[in-house]
Each structure stands twice: as C-alpha cells, then as structure tokens.
Structure 1
Amino acid sequence: MPRALRPGFHSSVDYTAAIIDNIEEHRADGRPFFACLAMQAPHDPFRLPDDWRDRHAGRYDDGYDALRAARIERMKTLGILDPEATVFPRLPGVPARAQAGAGPLRMFKGFRSEGGIRVPAIVAGHGVQRGARIADSLTHLMDIPATILEVAGVPYPDTRDGKPVPPLLGKSLTPIPSGESDAVRGPADRIGWVLFGNRAVRMGDWKLVSLCAPYGAGDWQLSDLKADPGETHDLAAERPEIRDEILRHWDDYAATHNVIIPDMSPICQPAN
C-alpha cells in the first residue's frame, strides 16, 4: 500500500537523510559498501520547496550544494570523508526546451546524437591519483559497475540464485583516475545505443547515428567526432568502408540484445 509522506516531505532532503542513515548502518562491519543517491528534483514535474525557490531564484543547483555539504559533514563525522571513489554523473542530455545548453552538440535528451548522450561526470576520492584534470576519452555509464567492483575488490558473480548472470558490458575506469592510462577504449572498441527508435554506434572517433522522423530520415549518418563533435557533416558517402564496418557491429549489437525498433515512440512519428 502507498505510504503517506510526512508533512514537508521533499525527495532531495529525505533521500539525503536516508542515504546518511544507510551509510551509518553499513560502515559498522568494515566491509566495502556501495551507496547510490539518485536525486529526482532535476526531472519534471519539479517539486522545489518554497524557501529554496525564493532563496536561490535562478540558482536551483545551490540546493544540491547544501544537501551535498550535509552529506559530506556526516561522512567527516564517520571518518569516511575520503572514499576510494565518488562518481557524480550528469543526467543524459538537456531537455528540448533547453537545447541551447547542449550546444554545439546535436539534438538533446532522448536522442542518441551527441546532444543526448555526451555529458560530464565528476570522479573524486582516494583512488584519484592524478589530481584535478579533465579527461575527454570515451566512457559510458555501464563502466561504473565494473569500476566499483574493481575498487571494492569484489568479483563479479557467474550465477545468482542458480541462474547465470549476464557478463558485464562495461570496462573498469580505474586506469584513468589512477594515472595508468588516459583511456580504457581503443580505436577498434565499439559501443551501441538505441532509444525510442533512435540508434547509434561508436567506434573510436567514428560514429554512426540514425534519427527517426521528423528529426531524421532513419538512414545512417557517419561523423568523425574528433573533427566534428556537432555531427554536422555526413561522411557516409565519402567513407563507405567505415560506414559498413560500423554497421556490421550494429547488426551484431541488435541481435545480441534483441533490439526491436518500434513503429512509434514518444518522440518519433509513426512509421508509414
């Protein structure tokens, strides 16, 4: 049954309090533990408390700074201020109404073009050996589980409850913050995406993307992201050998993950 919320409930405040309690509970045995705080307030419908709205007009993110400070102060008290790794990724892409915030990248949230998937992430903690710097190599959210397991020294299971566990798709990112390497993927590594009928495949600096109508024709467009991060020039006709090589990976990706392209989606027109 749904539980009534306390008077004055706000997800950001109450989630922060809950994760602090969770950290206190799980630190007692001295074993590594994973804590994930997923704030809901950045996503509409917005539920901003009146005192935050008035106090930080135009600076909504300051509310997060206040909650982050509370969490950090409690971690100081518990003696775990400097965890091995803390990862703070941004939401994937800006909404359509704020597309300028993604510039010069193409499109916005919901698309597999760069405006919908290329976002920053902040990594901090004891495991970061190289100090403050920007790493621009290709990473993916699916790399975070592999990274956390390696940092914690926890092996990935082959089975659970007697059933096989699918293999991890990501790569551990520890070589980047440790200073061992600037990247965990090479020119031949490939990553595939699909959402709402929009598809993409990345191989090194090359990327194929297919956008549904009315944003595209559903064909595959090839871009060199190193020279053209905005995906403004379609090189498919000029480099058909690259296009075909990456497209073969899409076929493998679609077969492996049972991809079904829908006839219609929240952002695309129905197929004819």
Structure 2
Amino acid sequence: NILLLVADDMGYTDLGSFGSEIPTPNLDALAFDGVRFVNFHAAPSCAPTRAMLMSGLTGGEAGVTDTMAPVLSNDVAALPALLQDVGYRTYMAGKWHLGIERDQSPLARGFDASFALVRGGDSHLGASHFAPQTVAYRENGQLVQVPADWFSSRLYTDKLIEMIRSGEDNRSPWFGYLAFTAPHWPLQAPANWRDRSADRYDGGYDLLRAARINRARELGIIPDNTSVEDYVGLAPSWEDLDAEARQKNARAMELYAAMVENMDYHVGRLLEYLRTTNQFDNTVILFFSDNGASGSDSSFRPRMPWKPDLAWNNSLPNMGQAGSFVAIGRGWAEATTAPYRAVKGSLYEGGTRAAAFMHHESLLHGGNIDRGYLTVMDVLPTLLEIGGTAHPGTEFQGRSVLPIRGRSFWSRVQGQSEPVHGDNDVIPWISSSPRSQGPQAALVRGDWKIVREREPSSVPETTPVWRLYHLATDPGETTDVAEQWPDLLEELITLWNVYEAGL
C-alpha cells in the first residue's frame, strides 16, 4: 500500500523532526524512523505543486503555472490512473485544485473514490465560504456540501479511512492520497485546540526564528555553519510592532500551531486504524508540504468565488472561529522557513524547499537524513516503482501522453548511494504565465541556481533580471554571483530558454 500525506502552506521547520516546538508526535515518529529529505522542493504555490505530483513534470508542462482556475492537462498520464492500471485501489480525500468540472475531477483522473475540495481554499469549520450553487466539493464526481459539524482535517481523514475500510476484503493494494488544507489560511481550529499554544509565541517571531534555526541545526536538518545572524528577512522587527499588533500576531501563530498539531493528531488516527487492521507494516508513507509558509496577513483576501456578503470578525476573541479570516503574516512565515530566503510564492528556497520524509520497514532506519536534491516531480516515478511499474513513456491506454521529467528515489532510500539528480541534470521552474514579460522563473543544475524574480523594492514596470547562486556554499541565496560567473549565467539562461520554448 502507498499512503501520501500532503500539508498545505506548512513551513519548512514546522514539524518537531525538522526543528519545531509544535507537538507533532505522530509525524515525528515516522520521520525519525524513516528517511527525512532535507533538500526536497515543491513549486512555490499550491496548484503547480499538485500538477507536478500528478504528472511527474513541471507545472508548466502539465498545464498549470498559477493558482487561478488551474486544470491538469489531458496530455499527462496522471499518477492515480497509472497505479489503477496495475491493480491498485485509488483513494483521495482533501484538496484537489486541478479542475472543478466533473471531467477534471479526481474521478476523471484515476481515483476510484474521492472526496475533494476542488477549489484552492475554504473555511475549515462552520459554514463553507462557497454558496451552495458554486462548485466547490465533489464526492466521486458529484457535487456535495460539507456537513454542519465539520472540521477540515477531521473530515478528510474520516473520508479516507472510510474508503480504505470499504475495501478491506479486497486483497489488492491501495493508494491513498490525503491532501490536508491545514495550515492554509484562514487559520481556524476546533474550540478545544485553539489554546493549546497559549502564550507560547508572546516573545515574537524574531525569537522563534532563532530557536527554529538552532534546533534544526542540532537535528542536522540545516548546515552546521548556519548562523541566526545571517538571515535577512522583510518583516519588521517584532519590537517595532505596537502592543495590539503583537497580541494579534501572537494569537495568529497560536492558531497556526493548533492547525499543525491537530493535523498530526488526525494522522495518528489514520495510523492507528492501519495498525489495528494489520495494514501499517505493508504501507509506504510519504509526507511533504506543497510549498513554503504563506506570508499573507489577516488583511489579505483571496480572489475566489466566495459568498459576496461574507462579514469577517477578526476581533481577538473571535480569531480562529467561524467568521474570522486570520493568517500568520510575513514575520511568522519567515520564522518557519528560515534560514532559507523568502516564503510561499517565491522561487527562492524559502518558497520551494519543503519538509518531507518517507517511512517503511524496508527503508534505512534510525533517523537517516538524505541531502540529495529532490522535487515533487520525482514522486510519481517513485510511487510507480514501489507499485512494481514504470511510466509508459509516450502512450497510455491508447492515447499520446508526455514523457516524465521526474526520477525515482526508491532505490536511494533503500541504501544506494547514487544521487537521483546528477550535476548536469537540468531542473526548471516557473510560477507565472509562460511568455509573459519577465515571468517569475528559476532553473537548477547541480549546485547552481538561477532565479528571475522581481525584488520587493523594484519598480513594478521593471523587468526582473536573472541572478545566480551557488547552493552548496550559499543555501540561503544571500550572494548573487552573476558578475563573477557571466559565462555560466548565460549557459543556464540558454537552458531556461530552451525549456520555455517547449511549453
């Protein structure tokens, strides 16, 4: 069996096994007993990462470069369909975000059973932010509404357990995809979870950032020579905030921590079910986050077809309850992604480097850490290899499909020393519309990375320039070495142009 767990907008150090103070005992037990991937990369936002996951290609190649009305291309053979083709039962619960119509839904792309939020986000409890006539949730392809007493992480976990339980008499293996919407904004939690971290964050995000960096270094997650002082963020100093802002900011982080801790609790429920039904030992478990933490604050409002008459109550007593729209803001987001630069939405490491691990009894045990460069594109071929199959190449079930870019890391986690990606492998990224003027873009080859991204201080009309970083010696991307290596810069830009021309 294969169990895939995906968190939504979770920071790089938000698990205890990656440096966090948030209690995540169930995920940590898996991570410490399995293999932690500390150089694992997603796209900088939700839908492109999910397209990479389902296709084994870049988001651009799979037809998805942003989060507005994304639809997974029909030119790809989707992961669940490939596993279904070799006899797997395929189940999915949670966030889909790759098409809202029935013929774009999980059912149409290879899931035998599914309960999916097909949009990019919603409330987590209380009334849905979507009007009943708006397409938001589909169960096995049919439009449904969320129940009155729901909480997102509990509901999605319940649904996946129900799906797996329904096939307990079936001896064929299953693939279960549990795509949480935690801790994505709006930050909301059940009443008995909201105060579990009360007063923990009153010291502010500058202190938390230092504590996280120090703990991650102790755990071997980040380089030994990483210094707290080297990090340069964009958030104002905690001490520069007034008393009310500090109070509300601290409460937002308490709620964020509650969502992460609650997600871990529901993972524990699922694991207990697998253990009591003697399925745990025969299940490979992979976990990762879909991008870095979001830097949006509580004033942010997304461009979604939510009810037009929503009235938000972000008073301190109502934060985290139904009717509130709370987000952690730039300071806490930087604290959870440091020492890496930037946050969700950026192609710098803080936007794309994600906490990830794999667990199974066949893997090397004892808290092993893998430092090889991996991406979400590598998940599809890895899970196919676990399932005893491989991507078919250019034809699947009588139709033409695109060959994949990702590579399996299954042999790597079982002890082989060969890297998944060699020094000459080209890994391109894009997170805005291709061929638009100066799209946000990046490309990695070996230890080198080029990034084209408008700096916060740039004049809006200014076309961003390419910058060059040496990740092996500068993982925080603090020093642009383009002037020292002009020929290498041009070579990597040419490789990017070749990739973009093929989209």
Shared fold per TM-score greater than 0.5: yes
Shift of 1:46: 2.5
Amino acid in structure 2 at the alignment position of 1:232: T
Q: Which residue of 1 aligns with 2:470?
A: 224
Q: 1:243 to 1:27 in 2, by over 3 A?
A: farther
Deviations along 1:227-266, one digit per CA (max 9) or x if unpaired, are: 111111111121122112211210111112x2xxxxxxxx
**Which stretches in structure 1 are left out of the alignment for 5+ residues?**
259-272
**Distance in 2 of aligned mates of 1:215 and 1:124:** 43
Matches within 5 A, 1:235-254: 235-254=481-500
Q: Could you tell me which of 268, 291, 308 is aligned with 1:69?
A: 268
Higher RCO by CA contacts (8 Å cutoff, separation 6 or greater): 2
Deviations along 1:59-100, one digit per CA (max 9) or x if unpaired, are: 412212221111011001221112442111023112222223
Give the conservation status (yes or no) of the 8 Å contact 1:41–1:47: no
Q: Which residue of 2 aligns with 1:19?
A: 160
Q: Secondary structure at the match of 1:119?
A: strand
Q: 1:130 to 1:180 in 2, by over 3 A?
A: farther
**Distance in 2 of aligned mates of 1:104 and 1:12:** 29
**Distance in 1 of aligned mates of 2:273 and 2:261:** 19
Q: Which residue of 1 aligns with 2:277?
A: 78
Q: Which residue of 1 aligns with 2:381?
A: 146
Give the conservation status (yes or no) of the 8 Å contact 2:182–2:263: no
What is the RMSD of the two structures over their aligned residues, measured on CA atoms? 2.0
Give the conservation status (yes or no) of the 8 Å contact 1:94–1:116: yes
Give the conservation status (yes or no) of the 8 Å contact 1:186–1:204: yes
Q: Which residue of 1 aligns with 2:404?
A: 168
1:53 lines up with 2:210 in the alignment: no
Shift of 1:33: 2.1
Q: TM-score, normalised by structure 1?
A: 0.87
**Distance in 1 of aligned mates of 2:265 and 2:283:** 23
1:94 lines up with 2:329 in the alignment: no
Q: Could you tell me which of 367, 370, 373 is aligned with 1:135?
A: 370
Q: Could you tell me which of 424, 445, 449 is aligned with 1:207?
A: 449
Q: Secondary structure at the match of 2:268?
A: helix
Amino acid in structure 1 at the alignment position of 2:442: A
Identify which range, 75-84 or 196-205, moves more after superposition: 75-84
Q: Secondary structure at the match of 2:374?
A: coil
Shift of 1:182: 5.5
Q: Which residue of 1 aligns with 2:147?
A: 6
Q: 1:236 to 1:252 in 2, by over 3 A?
A: same
**Distance in 2 of aligned mates of 1:47 and 1:94:** 16
Amino acid in structure 2 at the alignment position of 1:16: T
Shift of 1:16: 0.3
Amino acid in structure 1 at the alignment position of 2:421: R
Identify which range, 117-126 or 160-169, moves more after superposition: 160-169
Identify which range, 25-34 or 144-153, moves more after superposition: 25-34
Q: Which residue of 1 aligns with 2:354?
A: 119
Q: Which residue of 2 aligns with 1:193?
A: 429
Q: 1:176 to 1:25 in 2, by over 3 A?
A: same
Q: Secondary structure at the match of 1:247?
A: helix
Shift of 1:151: 0.4
Count of equivalent residues: 257
Q: 1:156 to 1:30 in 2, by over 3 A?
A: farther
Give the conservation status (yes or no) of the 8 Å contact 2:151–2:190: yes
Q: Secondary structure at the match of 2:354?
A: coil
Shift of 1:56: 4.9
Give the conservation status (yes or no) of the 8 Å contact 1:130–1:177: no
Q: 1:46 to 1:245 in 2, by over 3 A?
A: same
Q: Secondary structure at the match of 1:50?
A: coil
**Which stretches in structure 2 are left out of the alignment for 5+ residues?**
1-132, 134-142, 199-253, 296-329, 433-438
Q: Which residue of 2 aligns with 1:234?
A: 480
Q: Which residue of 2 aligns with 1:156?
A: 391
Q: Secondary structure at the match of 1:134?
A: strand
Give the conservation status (yes or no) of the 8 Å contact 1:175–1:183: no
